[in-house]
Amino acid sequence: MIGGEPLIDLLLAETHTCYLGDCEHRHDWGFGCGECPACRLRAEGFAKWQAAS
């Protein structure tokens, strides 16, 4: 069975960049403003990953 770790690693690696370049605000899913599309995608993906694990 595929574990959650590789998925979250991929998620964070693939969508690493905040559109606003915010690297001051730390979230469970990484750094970012939390409001731009890139951050929301990550937050959403992380929430789904958490809910599924």
Which residues contribute to the site for Zn ion (CB under 5 A)? 18, 20, 32-33, 36, 39
Contact 12, 25 (CB under 8 A): no
Contact 38, 32 (CB under 8 A): yes
Contact 39, 18 (CB under 8 A): yes
Q: Which is nearer to Zn ion, 8 or 39 (CB)?
A: 39
- Nearest approach in angstroms of CB 31 to Zn ion is 9
The identity of residue 20, as a single letter, is L
Q: Which is nearer to Zn ion, 20 or 47 (CB)?
A: 20
- Nearest approach in angstroms of CB 22 to Zn ion is 5
